[in-house]
Structures are given as C-alpha cells and as structure tokens.
A and B are shown apart, each in its own frame.
Chain A
C-alpha cells in the first residue's frame, strides 16, 4: 500500500516534469525575443551614456589640440585665417552640446567621423587596427581563461600543498606586476638578451605588405600575446581557486567523500563541474580587462593595434577616434557580459529546466 502510493507520487512528479518542460520550451522561445529586445535596449542606453560621458569629459579638456599636434612654433608662423581653419578642423571652436549632437547624428547613420590624426574615417582606422588586435586579444583571452581555470582548480583542490603555494604565489606576484612592466621584462629577456624574438611591431620593419607572411605575424605576436595572457591570468586563477575552495568545503563534497570517493575523484567529478559555471562568467567578464591590458602591452611592443591607437588618440587629442574606440570597447564588454548570461542559462540545469534567461 505504502509502496504503491509512493510510486504513483513519483510518476505524477515525473509526468508533470515532462509536460512542464515542453510548455517551457515554447514559452522560452517566446521569451527569448523579449530577452534580446531588453538587452538590446540596455546596450543602446549604455552606449548613449558612455559616448555622452566620454564626449563631455573630452570637451572639458584644457589640452589644446593645436598646441599638441601643430606645435607652438608652427602656429606662430601661420596667418590668423590658417589658424582658424585648423581650429575648426580640430573641433576646438564647436560648443560641446552641438558637437555631441553632430557626432550622435553621424553615429546613428553609421558614420563615426574622421580621425584627425590619421585623416581617414574613424571606422576604417578602427577596422585596420582591430584586424591587428583581434587575434592577439582573442588568443590571449582564451589562453588566460584556460590557464587560469586549470591552475586555479588545481591549486584549490590541493589547498595548502606545495603546488598550491607555488601557483598561488606566482599568481599573486603576477597580479601585482603592471602589464607594461611584465612586457618590458619579457622584451628585455627574449628579444634583447636572448635575441629569439623581434623587438616590436606586428610585421618586420621595412617589409612590403605583400611579402609579410603568416609566420612573420605570428612571430611578432608571440611576446605580446604571452604577456597579455599572463597579465590576464591571475585574476581568473585566484577567483577560480577561491570558488574551488568553497566547493570543496560544501556539504555535497563531504557527502561524496562519505560515499567513498577519493579526494581526486571528488575534485574532478564535483569540483570541476561546480567551478565551471562561475569560471565561465569570469571569463566573459574579463573581456574588458584584456582590452585594457592590450592598451599597455601594445604600447610597449609598438604593436599597431586598437590599444595603441587609443593611446595615440588620447595623447594627440583625436577626439573622434578616442570616442569611437571607447564606444567599440564598451560594446565588446557588454557583449561579453551578455554571452555570460546566455551561456549560464544554457549550461546550468537549474536555469535550463526553469526556462532560464532565454
């Protein structure tokens, strides 16, 4: 009697689960449209805020772009008319509100203006720089994530051992090392002292564009890539380790051990599984950090990417380019966070079965 009762209870449970799943699948697809619309609106609002804040910040600047880029001596030898023309070229005489309205109008029609330093449309400058940066940053992003995850889980599972101490110590040391100093060190060891790798740039100096092969590009990207990966790793590593420690102290790990699992089996079967989700979020949230790191690293290696362009634009008062890069990197960061949300919904069974975000 009792047994029959409990059996019927479970079939009801699972039956309901089955139907619930099916209904959820439908509503999930309906809802996913709404989800994307909502996120899209948020992105637009964010970009609006970012561009407005950036624009007004830059327009506050007491830095005179003419002084910086034309130079005092050259200005002195110019006629008033020439100076006036230059002033309007550098946008020094437009009121900020008007300037922003003009920029926004252009941006909405897909025109981010003309870079003042490169004298080309901002989009084409950014496209060219991004082509150089993209593979470098993407590779560094993946490497730092993979390395951080692997070493972080290892250190967390072996808390207190020699391996943990070495890994954590190295990560702490690395997290206290500015990316540009790491770049300087790598450069002086591998390029200057050992002479194994080129000193800078993305292609050999003086080589015609059509002669540059993939090999050349790879050799030039090794050090910046390594540096960027290393500087992005400690953050993920230390947080993954922390998470792993939490998991290894959880009740379900105790229970797994009580069921006779060895420490290693517990770490692999339950530890990795439970750390993977937060690690995924961390990984996608680290897009901004890698982009920020690339600014410093590209500067040291004179690598002609987006990060270096940002520095050049900032130092030279090239407002349209600086704005373009800011908006582009804010979009990238946003997409990273969005991807984390979406993947979380797909990977976590709790979110998946409950309909998740999508």
Chain B
C-alpha cells in the first residue's frame, strides 16, 4: 500500500487538454486548445519546474489544478492528488489548505483590502492572526506590513507577501506561477531559494516559469512545455550537461543558455 503511494507523485496530471470556444467578428467562431495532452507529475520534497515560452499555456496548467479556469473553458483528462482523483469538488475542499497558489503579481491582491485582512481570509480568530504574523515573519515582513494596502508594497515586498499567503497553512502542494519576472536578479534568486526551502520541508513545489536558467539552478526536475504540451520531463542536471534531452525544442533551449550556446559548437567545427 505504501509502495503504491510512493510510486504515484503527489500531483499527477494525465492527458490534460483545455479548450476554449471563441467568437470572431460576425458569425465566425473558432476553438482554441491552449493545452493539449499534458502529462506531468510533481512529487513531495521536490521542486518541479514547468518551463516554456510565454503564451505556451503554462499558467493555464496552474489554473486548471487550482480549479480557477474561466467558465467557458472545457477541461478533458485526469488529475490526481495524493492518489485520489482531483475533481472540482475535491479541489474546492483542498485549495487554500493543502494546495496553495503563489500568483504572478500584486494585481492578484485586492487593491482595497490591507495585507493582514487578505491573509486572514475572513477568519479573524487570534489563532489565524498568529499564523499570518508567523507567515509574514518567515519572509522578513514585520507586523506593520499587515496594515499596508497592495499599492504601498514594493515589487519585492509584494512577492514576499504572496509567498507568505501560501504558507499561512501548511500546504502539501505549492504552485508558484511566474514568481520572478520584473524582479532584480538577486531578489529573483532569493524568491526561488524560498521555494526551494519549502520543498526541502516536504512540500511538492510546482514552479511555472519562462526562466530556464534560474529553473535549472534551483529545481529538481524540469518539464519543458512547447506549444501547449509537455514535450519532456527530465532531471534538472540534464540542462547542465545537455545529456538526456531528446526533444529538439529542449535541445534548442539548452543551446540558447548562456555558457553553452551555439558559439562553442561553431568553434568545435
């Protein structure tokens, strides 16, 4: 029994396809399928990065797992969490407690509510308040931060607040959706090290990013997304050495990384 659980990753996505119906001008309409046949796993104690160009459907994957896709989206395929199927009902029960999302930026905070109240989520009990304070402290944010409104946060602070919101309770799966764009390199690296720490504490971390370099440095496994599908999922080392990359897109990504780009190859010839 235990072995069965061990073999299945905490989050398993199988053959996930997301479709939208869109209308053009007049009577024309078309179907978009930004995600097609995505299969992916994220395991306990590991940091799995989903890497792909912008517009490749990475964020939709996060939204699908969190159950917050727009209402006209059509979801096909299977998702499992902790061995059991992850359907709409179960997502609703788990999110915020066992599954946490770290969203992209400050626009994901209510502009008219201060930070403390947003983290409390309507639960004003002293226990909850203590948990929030602790979560903020963990990322070096003082009590005063709770009184600030989102527009008063600097970019780095906002990122830490969003991170803190994920760890108010102890989630088993953390999905970070593009947590680094717009941040100075130092801050971005710090954000990733915070995520790394969460995975070392036993959580499964799913990092969604377009920054392959950072992902290769911090993640354990890397899933490469290309045109709406995961073309391969490999150990992060593969992107250090270049070995074990079978898909041409991942090879091209590898070649484009600083340090081992096309120049070296040219020189070799």
Give me the interface of A with B, judged by CB distance under 8 Å: 2-3, 5-7, 9-11, 13-14, 17, 249-252, 254-261, 265, 269-270, 273-274, 277, 348-350, 353
Q: A259 and B112 in contact (CB under 8 A), knowing A3-B140, A17-B148, A17-B152?
A: no
B-side contacts of A277, CB under 8 Å: 112
B112 touches A349 (CB 8 A): yes
A-side contacts of B152, CB under 8 Å: 17, 353
Q: A260 and B121 in contact (CB under 8 A), knowing A277-B112, A350-B149?
A: yes
Of B2-10, B100-108, B208-216, B240-248, which stretch is located at the interface?
B100-108
Question: Chain A's nearest CB lies how many Å from the CB of B48?
Answer: 19
Residue from A2, A249, A252 with most neighbouring chain B CB atoms (10 Å) = A252
B95 touches A6 (CB 8 A): no
Verify if B129 is at the interface (C-beta below 8 Å from A). Answer: no
Docked CA distance A265–B92 (Å): 13
Verify if B68 is at the interface (C-beta below 8 Å from A). Answer: yes
A14 touches B121 (CB 8 A): no
Residue from B110, B121, B142 with most neighbouring chain A CB atoms (10 Å) = B110
Proximity string of chain B (87-105) to chain A, C-beta cutoff 8 Å, 1 when within and 0 when not = 0000010011100110110
With both beta carbons as reference points, the residue of chain A lying nearest to B69 in the complex is identified as: A254
Within 8 A of A (CB), among B192-222: none
B122 touches A261 (CB 8 A): yes
B-side contacts of A251, CB under 8 Å: 103-104, 107-108
B68 touches A6 (CB 8 A): no
Q: A254 and B108 in contact (CB under 8 A), knowing A6-B140, A17-B148, A260-B121?
A: yes
Docked CA distance A11–B144 (Å): 8
Docked CA distance A254–B114 (Å): 17
Partner of B108, one of A255, A260, A265: A255
A259 touches B154 (CB 8 A): no
Docked CA distance A10–B112 (Å): 21
A10 touches B95 (CB 8 A): no
Within 8 A of A (CB), among B120-149: 121-122, 139-142, 144-145, 148-149
Docked CA distance A305–B40 (Å): 72
Docked CA distance A265–B112 (Å): 16
Question: Chain A's nearest CB lies how many Å from the CB of B159?
Answer: 11
A-side contacts of B154, CB under 8 Å: 13
